[in-house]
Amino acid sequence: MHLAYPAVLSALLFCTGLYGVLARRNAILVLMSVELMLNAVNLNLVAFDVWLSKTAQDTLHSGQALTLFTIAIAAAEIGIGLAIVLAVYRNRGTSDIDKLRDTAETGDGNGSDGSDDGHDAPGSAASTTAEKAEATA
């Protein structure tokens, strides 16, 4: 077996996964792209293990053992990642990565640390809510 065929296929799979991680906004598709990248690495591990086992007579097939370990870790990672994504979707109503913001971030964009000194910025959420309450009263 030539080493070039699985290496090229692995590079294509890895590049496809990398594009999916960088370009996608849906968290589930990002997780699928990470799995595609891990499978590309697994393909490389097995291909190099087979290629190196032809040169050594007594080999332990460490590439294949590491691949099995990687598959087990990836299964646990995708299970926990999917659980986190589903919990975030239930709480926030979206799995769009760009729309998910931490609750500690402020919306005014002036770089404040979120401390409350008794004065609300004109564009802050607290002053907007107070203005709406005054307008309806």
| Residue-level pLDDT at 25 | 84
Instruction: Round the average pLDDT of the chain to a whole number and report it.
Output: 79
Give the pLDDT confidence score for residue 136 in this predicted structure: 58
CB contact at 8 A, 127 and 121: yes
Yes or no: say if 27 and 85 are a contact pair by the CB < 8 Å rule: yes
Q: What's the mean pLDDT in 57-76?
A: 86
The average pLDDT across 21-42 equals 92
Segment of 16-20, 21-25, 49-53 carrying the highest mean pLDDT: 16-20
Q: Tens digits of per-residue pLDDT, 70-118?
A: 999 999 999 999 999 899 889 888 888 877 765 445 555 555 555 555 5
Confidence of residue 20 (pLDDT cuts 50, 70, 90): very high
- pLDDT-above-70 percentage for the chain: 69
DSSP letters spanning 40-68? HHHHHHHHHHHHHHTT-SS---HHHHHHH
Assess contact for 19 and 63: CB atoms under 8 A: no
Burial (CB count within 10 angstroms: exposed 0-12, middle 13-18, buried 19+), residue 42: buried
How high is the pLDDT of residue 51?
86
